[in-house]
Structure 1
Amino acid sequence: MTVRNLDAIFQPKSVAVIGASQRPGSIGQMVWQRLIEGGFAGPLWAVNPRHAGELESFDGKPVLADAGDLPEAPTVALICTRPSTWPALVHRLGGMGTRAAIIVGEVRTEEDRADLRHALAAARPHLLRILGPGTLGALTPALNAQLGAAATVARSGGVAWVSQSNALTNAVLRWAGPRGLGFSHAVALGDEADVDVGDVLDYLASDPSTRAILLEVDSIGAARKFMSAARAAARNKPVLALRSGRDDPGDALYTAAFRRAGIVRVDTLDDLLDEIETLGVGRVAASDTATLITSDRGVATLARDAFMKAGDTLARWNDEAHAALETALEAALPRAQAGNPLVLGDTAKAEHFGLALQALASQRSTGTAFVVHAPTHSAPVAEVARTLIENQRFAYRGMLACFFGGVDDTTRDALHAHGIPVHTTPRRLARAFARLVDYRLGRELLMQTPESMPAQGAAAIEAAQGVAHAALAAGRATLEGAEAARLLAAFELQTLESAEQRSAEAVVDVNVEFRDDENFGPVFHFVAPSPDGFSPPLRVYSLPPLNPVLSRDIVEQSPYVRHAAPEPMLEALTGISQVVCEVREIVAMQLTLRVLPHAVMLVAPRLTLAEKRSRFAIVPYPRRLEETLDWHGERLTIRPIRPEDEEMHRAFIDTMTPDDLRLRFFSAVRSFDHTQLARMTQIDYDREMALIATVEGEDGKPRTLGVARAVADPDNETAEFAVAIQSNLKRGGLGRLLLTRMIDYVRSRGTHWLLGEALRENAPMIGLARACGFTVTPTEDPGVVGFRMPLE
């Protein structure tokens, strides 16, 4: 996974078009024309040996005979020539210092594929990135950088569009322009020979100009990279995805992967287009309910029905809100109906919409404001729109609008300029908001603190692993019956071994399959029949590892959720996940979960073993890093942080003095909320590590004494570290104990450099860094010093 040099594509400073042309209909002509029409302001060169002596310039820009004649290395080169030229061009551009190339041409033959392989090999020594081949290009409208052969010039906006389809990208750009909608970036990925969807997601996750990301994907090749990048992006901003092919047998697995990554899946292209309006224009704060404001009863009924169908997201007003709105509107609008929808009456004027927004402002339970308006003589569209803009500050959860019949371009642009999205029907408005709610709920699932589950003891895990090792040593690749039951029993999973023990009071039998998917690696598949013959059966995929929160998400999708106590099922799902995480020789599993009213038993487990299996798309908890040692007369445990450590981590931070917190976080810090603590404790072990040191407290519960944290960049080129120790334990050696182990861990991952920073006044941290072998260097900030350590 790498974002290295992607800024050359999305933030170019100079551009060369190799194969530029003015021959109508040629790729070189289309690419050149888009750059000129877009108005790119940086250095721009055309390279074409056929025209170099014939014409002095293309549109006032110099035409050169060869890439070697360029006066300097372009940030990015657009290659519009035939495949046989790609290897030499990439080699020359890379040697000059060009950091990225966009190959617009397509690969059609085996010879073309060989040329592409040679071009990729030529790029590698120079770290030159390649987008494509077969790509429409990449657009950054804010910089007037229209790099590629898009059908139209795109406007600037707040949403990024990422697609595997050139045709859909062209269609979306054509659709958005006349509606006054734009993009922070738009990219068609082409064949993804180098830059793929995971790379672009990683870049956009931290791109300040991108408020939301819209994906159109058909398939994902590097699932682990994608999942890691998607989870990082979804923690920062909404990510929505469209994947066609609902009849594809593997489509349900994509649904599970998107859900696990915090991505909201949409059903149609129309839904995705609506989000360009909602997310690219709007500044809607976190809210899962809304209040409708309209002047007409018929419109109110239509809008209410749309919201009920889309997800029942209308706010339930409390008595205080009803009374406050009745009082506020009584004098001005005696015919108004205070409720949700809030119906102002057919005599309402434009200013009455402002009055309603002001009255709702103090009632926080009413959620996001939705103005749905059918134009009337007393309340013309332009006047209502002006009132919404003037009173926008009262909509504390944001505002969305729907004007039947649409609005003129001037009014639309004014609303957009003030962050108010405009939809044409209540249905589109309701569905767009429902997806925002889905994102919020999905993000909460990502940030949720799981209920603590007792970890299996080391002896039990070793016993289970021993069963698998012994079977493989004996040449057996399958465990069934008593052997399988013995392995599973190490994880407190009970197996029914005979027909007589199978209870007649079973609620349902859930078939469980664990297997290797060619894209996503190890996955679970859960299947249960319909409870009544009419309701849909349960068919759910899930990616390990599972914890109780993620297991509950599976259980709540079952039609049997109200027929049995949930806790036994949560324990069973979490248990079988622990089995496959700890016993890596298990490559497949089939069993039945017999769900009883107050228990869950395993029936007929069958385990398939092998020496090696695929890596998980989501890295499980790395138990191998756990260590217990004697330290100053106490038993000290050093281990990776876990999601259930949130409260313990809060208590640890509470022990630190305000000055210690300032030194650690470079500013005054009072406290951390749940979201911030969840980000500290729920980490992606594939790219981040936090090692904590704990001891048993007087109450018998563990407490945290210190933490060392390191976060690697997506390239794994560098990792940044930080250390925090309980205030009264400084200079006791705990910091060095944690930091040396973190150095060893980061080195084991193949990271090249470990970096850090500290305030110049933080003498203990500077001393610790020096003692551990870091070089202390100045930084651009005179009050901050840097630490560097080569790990190779």
Structure 2
Amino acid sequence: MTVRNLDALFRPKSVAVIGASERPGSTGAMVWSRLLEGGFEGPLWPVNPKYETLSGYPVIGDVGDLPQAPTVALICTPAASWPSIIHKLGGLGTRAAIIVGETRCDDDRLALRQALAAARPHLLRIVGPGSLGVVTPALRAHFGAPSCSVKAGGVAWVSQSNALTNAVLGWAHARGLGFSHAVALGGEADVDAGDVLDYLASDPGTRAILLELDSVRAARKFMSAARAAARNKPVLALRSGRDDPADALYTAAFRRAGMVRVDALDDLLDEIETLGVGRVAAGATATLITSDRGLATLACDAFAAAGDTLAPWPEQASQALQQALPHAVGGNPLQLGDDARPEHFGTALKLLAEHRGTGTAFVVHASTHGAPVGEVAQALIANQRFAYRGLLACFFGGLDAATRDALHAQGIPVHTTPQRLARAFARLVDYRMGRELLMQTPEGLPAEVPDAIDAAQAQARAALAAGERELTGEAAADLLRRFGLVIETARTADTAGVDERSDAAPASRESDCTETDAVSAPKPVVEIVVELHDDDNFGPVFSFTAPSADGVSEPLRLYGLPPLNPTLARDIVTRSPYARLIAPEPALAALTALSQAVCDVREIVGLTLTLRVYRDHVTVVAPTLSIAPTRSRLAIMPYPRRFEETLDWQGARITVRPIRPEDEAAHHDLVEAMTPEDLRLRFFGAVGSFDHSQLARMTQIDYDREMALIATVQSDEGLSRTLGVVRAVADPDNETAEFAVAIRSDQKGRRLGRLLTDRIIRYARARGTHWLVGEALRENTAMIALARSSGFTITPTEDPSVVGFRMALDTDADQEKSAATVRSAR
């Protein structure tokens, strides 16, 4: 359940085929044949006591007799033999195995459990059982039984289905498309989708990831991996079964992770073309270039259906094109005319390059006597460099393979219809928008009163101690009030409905602002039923159900994974047809407060209530809270409040706490307050200003993988100022965490760096991390002295200008006990 040793799987140096055979139709024969046909250049060792040679290779009779440990072992033998084989491979030092065979009965499943137990002491990773295999075309490594050879490309394919994997590989092969890796996960007994996503997130040969799955194992790990991957590259997901009751939850999870969900296999296949071939920077707009009015109409219809937007042209662009191409119909779409020549397409690209607001370039063309598609394709290749936001093409009637491959070689994707081109671009825009959602800075949350949170937790625990399993009425209202929610008294049925008055007055409230007067209150705009249930896979999950806005369409039902912040709550609210009828801020505050209650009171395992949404405020009606001593973990780790502390330091009262997304502005000020020399020493080179996306990565962290502790102080004006930050980023295995410190230049020499370093060491040790490491330029004597005084060992690195720090954290039983305490709290 980690990325440990997956590099052996994806960067193999040698391979053994256990059960290799020449018997036609056998699994061993298929796997051995495909390995040879692929042309893997490392050592190959067939293992089978029935043969002396296979295809000219000497056959080894037993796994224990292998001359050395293969990087990867392909296991094609019956299940009963797996435990013994895995035990021997682990002893040799093999780090990855692919089990091709299926588990078909209880005895097979028992053998699999024994094989996993045998692998565990050696950290040997197992793909499968029932895996079609793992293919890394750049290394000519066809490990398993794929139906065809696979070309190298920039897209990774990850699937839980063998049949679908074979179909996709065959489809791509016929079109000259390739993959960076292709993985058929099989039964996911060990290596699962989250592990592979984690690896591919930082794989430099993978530009995009296409994921096909029916279910997710280890939801928190999967969500962390997916979010990390989606920050770096497009991740598109296909999940069949729209009639599955859990399908909407998967849609919410994919969206929360920044992944783009596609609805059909055709759409996923199109992205092999778009993402595997192209270098397209998907903005919100595009320019359509064609020769014929009919084609322009068809393409515009396709763009409108896909939700794409054609860019408005500046007047200067129209004038320049009119002078250069007098027969063209200017504007967007640009119609070059029936007498267009191939060079006219290149001229259009050159002229549009000067006007970046025209967006991504699309060429839609059908062959004419004056502009055969082959010659137009060559013109696009010659002028592709002018399409600064990328270039996509659609040629009606198709292309010959040589021309298609030439376009691919220049990074120009080719689609067969305007509809497919438009949908492919729309998904790129969806990815950009989803990534921006991940990067958006939420509004700052209101100051919280820890006593209120403590009181809410105490109330839930006291109820459990009294044998209660449900809080209703005033008890539930009291708990929710502690999080700032307004509880409304019951309203008679004849007062409910939609208020269309523009001058509706706010509901009157009692002096404590926690109750409303049922008589004088206006009618709500909408009533939303909110439920929380503890999902077997994703843990606590919210569902929001609102009635149809038009009385005809289906009721709106959305899911949300806590924790929610105002930005994520806004994403939920804006998808409601009622959003334009209300002021959004009260609804955002209510959703965020509900999420905070669920995150802070871990005894809440379920809830049901109604959010009564008025034009300018929101109230809670009839809350019922289900409570229990334990519940599943949240799929996304919430803000870890337990690491907050306030202390006296150097005559000031400072707070040390985990960083939050709303700290972006203060973090910008911290960086701006550092001298160029301090920035150079911290970032190993000259550094200018950081843009929003860079600051968002620093402040919007995954608390399950990373910790950034900041020291803050309140200014006289009541604003929070960040004095310094220490950061530790753990690998997915939690084996090693890399740390770094940054202190405001005007705070250096006051031992703030030591204070923060001590706390990050304590945090990493309690989390169960084994090693804390770091690096500094050799000339950064202050950082080296800090590391040495904190207990790090100073080590050389491959770069003589850089020194390393290393500290072992798990050295005694007390530390292990501390780690167990924190892990249980998480």
The question of a shared fold, defined as TM-score above 0.5 by the shorter chain, is answered with: yes
Match of 1:9 in 2: 9
Query: 2:367 matched to 1:375?
Result: yes
1:181 and 1:277 in contact (8 A); partners too:
yes
How do residues 69-88 of structure 1 correspond to structure 2 at under 5 angstroms? 69-88=65-84
Query: 2:660 matched to 1:633?
Result: no
Per-residue deviation, 1:504:
4.7
Per-residue deviation, 1:62:
2.0
Match of 1:665 in 2: 683
Per-residue deviation, 1:499:
2.7
Query: 2:411 matched to 1:399?
Result: no
Match of 1:430 in 2: 422
Match of 2:27 in 1: 27
Match of 2:403 in 1: 411
Match of 2:291 in 1: 295
Q: Which moved more, 1:681-690 or 1:533-542?
A: 533-542
Match of 2:580, SS state, is: coil
Query: 2:133 matched to 1:131?
Result: no
1:610-664 Cα shifts (integer Å, max 9, x gaps):
1111110000000111100011111110000000000100000001111111111
2:158 and 2:193 in contact (8 A); partners too:
yes
Distance 1:313 1:60, change over 3 A: farther
1:538 and 1:557 in contact (8 A); partners too:
no
How do residues 701-720 of structure 1 correspond to structure 2 at under 5 angstroms? 701-720=719-738
Q: Which amino acid aligns with 1:210?
A: T
Q: Which amino acid aligns with 1:443?
A: R
Per-residue deviation, 1:469:
1.9
Match of 2:310, SS state, is: coil
1:159 and 1:182 in contact (8 A); partners too:
yes
How do residues 257-656 of structure 1 correspond to structure 2 at under 5 angstroms? 257-330=253-326, 334=327, 336-499=328-491, 501-502=517-518, 503-656=521-674
2:292 and 2:335 in contact (8 A); partners too:
yes
2:308 and 2:422 in contact (8 A); partners too:
no
Per-residue deviation, 1:537:
2.1
1:240-291 Cα shifts (integer Å, max 9, x gaps):
0000000001100000000000000000000000000000000012412110
Q: How far apart are the structure 2 equivalents of 1:161 and 1:276?
A: 9
Per-residue deviation, 1:677:
0.4
Q: Which amino acid aligns with 1:44?
A: L
Match of 2:510 in 1: none
1:572 and 1:600 in contact (8 A); partners too:
yes
Per-residue deviation, 1:339:
1.1
Q: How far apart are the structure 2 equivalents of 1:146 and 1:251?
A: 33
Q: Which amino acid aligns with 1:367?
A: G
Q: Which amino acid aligns with 1:392?
A: Q
1:508-541 Cα shifts (integer Å, max 9, x gaps):
1100001100010000000001022123421000
5+ residue gaps, structure 2, are 493-516, 811-826
1:417-442 Cα shifts (integer Å, max 9, x gaps):
00000000000000000000000000
Q: Which amino acid aligns with 1:20?
A: A
- Give the percent of matched residue pairs that are identical in Structure 1 and Structure 2: 71
Match of 1:461, SS state, is: helix
1:528 and 1:538 in contact (8 A); partners too:
yes
Match of 1:102 in 2: 98
Q: Which amino acid aligns with 2:51?
A: H
Q: How far apart are the structure 2 equivalents of 1:388 and 1:225?
A: 44
Work out the number of aligned pairs and report it: 784
1:535 and 1:559 in contact (8 A); partners too:
no
Q: Which amino acid aligns with 2:657?
A: R
5+ residue gaps, structure 1, are none
Match of 1:496, SS state, is: coil
Per-residue deviation, 1:326:
2.3
Match of 1:440, SS state, is: helix
Query: C-alpha root-mean-square deviation of aligned residues, in Å?
Result: 1.0
1:669-697 Cα shifts (integer Å, max 9, x gaps):
01111000000000000000000001112
How do residues 137-156 of structure 1 correspond to structure 2 at under 5 angstroms? 137-156=133-152
Q: Which moved more, 1:315-324 or 1:66-75?
A: 315-324
Q: How far apart are the structure 1 equivalents of 2:401 and 2:94?
A: 41
Q: How far apart are the structure 1 equivalents of 2:345 and 2:576?
A: 44
Match of 1:158 in 2: 154
Per-residue deviation, 1:562:
1.1
Match of 2:803 in 1: 785
1:402-459 Cα shifts (integer Å, max 9, x gaps):
0001100000000000000000000000000000000000000011101111142111
Q: How far apart are the structure 2 equivalents of 1:445 and 1:108?
A: 44
Per-residue deviation, 1:320:
3.2
Match of 2:272, SS state, is: helix
Q: How far apart are the structure 2 equivalents of 1:658 and 1:593?
A: 51
2:156 and 2:209 in contact (8 A); partners too:
yes
Per-residue deviation, 1:461:
1.0
Q: How far apart are the structure 1 equivalents of 2:394 and 2:254?
A: 30
Q: How far apart are the structure 2 equivalents of 1:592 and 1:363?
A: 51
Match of 2:815 in 1: none
Match of 1:188 in 2: 184
Match of 2:708 in 1: 690
Q: Which amino acid aligns with 1:406?
A: G
Q: How far apart are the structure 1 equivalents of 2:227 and 2:407?
A: 32
Match of 2:505 in 1: none
1:138 and 1:147 in contact (8 A); partners too:
yes
Q: How far apart are the structure 2 equivalents of 1:646 and 1:118?
A: 50
1:137 and 1:149 in contact (8 A); partners too:
yes
Q: How far apart are the structure 1 equivalents of 2:281 and 2:754?
A: 43
Per-residue deviation, 1:480:
1.2
Per-residue deviation, 1:473:
2.0
2:490 and 2:622 in contact (8 A); partners too:
no
Per-residue deviation, 1:597:
1.2
Q: Which amino acid aligns with 1:711?
A: V
1:79-136 Cα shifts (integer Å, max 9, x gaps):
0000111111101011101111000001011111110011000001111000001000
| Counterpart among 192, 196, 199 of residue 200 in structure 1 | 196
1:691 and 1:709 in contact (8 A); partners too:
yes
Q: How far apart are the structure 1 equivalents of 2:753 and 2:309?
A: 49
Match of 1:147, SS state, is: strand
How do residues 167-178 of structure 1 correspond to structure 2 at under 5 angstroms? 167-178=163-174
Q: Which moved more, 1:308-317 or 1:111-120?
A: 308-317
Match of 2:499 in 1: none
Q: Which amino acid aligns with 1:307?
A: F
1:731 and 1:764 in contact (8 A); partners too:
no
Match of 2:581, SS state, is: coil
Q: How far apart are the structure 2 equivalents of 1:498 and 1:248?
A: 35
1:545 and 1:618 in contact (8 A); partners too:
yes
Q: How far apart are the structure 1 equivalents of 2:140 and 2:595?
A: 49
1:689-709 Cα shifts (integer Å, max 9, x gaps):
000001112332011110000
1:537 and 1:559 in contact (8 A); partners too:
no
Match of 1:233 in 2: 229
